[in-house]
Structure 1
Amino acid sequence: MQCPNCKSKDIGKIGTNQYYCWNCFVEMSLQKGMLSLHQVEEDGSLSSLDDLFDDEDLHVGM
């Protein structure tokens, strides 16, 4: 898997269908072949980054 944000392959699994990019610090969740990206805020909340990407960028071909 490659991070759609920074193109890094330094991805770690943090839960069931949940991943974290150690290069750009973005959390990703995988559902039905599509990634959902979130930025972790200082207070621990998540802000969606999905509107910054096209659907084709978030599609995961397995």
Structure 2
Amino acid sequence: MNCPNCHGSNLGKIGHQQFYCWNCLIELSVMNGKINVNEVEEDGSLSSLDDLFNEEDLTAQW
């Protein structure tokens, strides 16, 4: 799987079906083959970035 933002493969696993892209510093979670993209805010909360990507970019390809 590659990051839908930078298309890099420098992903670290942070939980069950949860990954972190070390290139663009976003969190990815995979649910039912669909990737959810979130930005980690300063207070630790997550902001969705899904609306910035099309459906094809958010389909998990292993």
Hey, what does 1:30 align to over in structure 2?
30
Q: Secondary structure at the match of 2:12?
A: strand
Percent of aligned pairs with the same amino acid: 56
Number of residue pairs the alignment of both structures matches = 62
Q: Which has the higher contact order (CA 8 A, sep 6+)?
A: 2
The TM-score with structure 2 as length reference comes to 0.95
Following the alignment from structure 2 to structure 1, what is the Cα–Cα distance between the partners of residues 10 and 50?
20
Q: Write out aligned runs for 1:10-49 (5 A).
A: 10-49=10-49
RMSD value, Cα = 0.7
Instruction: Compute the displacement of 1:61 (Å).
Output: 2.7
Q: Unpaired runs of 5+ in structure 2?
A: none
Q: Unpaired runs of 5+ in structure 1?
A: none
Hey, what does 1:6 align to over in structure 2?
6
Following the alignment from structure 2 to structure 1, what is the Cα–Cα distance between the partners of residues 26 and 37?
7
The TM-score with structure 1 as length reference comes to 0.95
Q: Which runs of 4+ in 1 moved over 4 A?
A: none
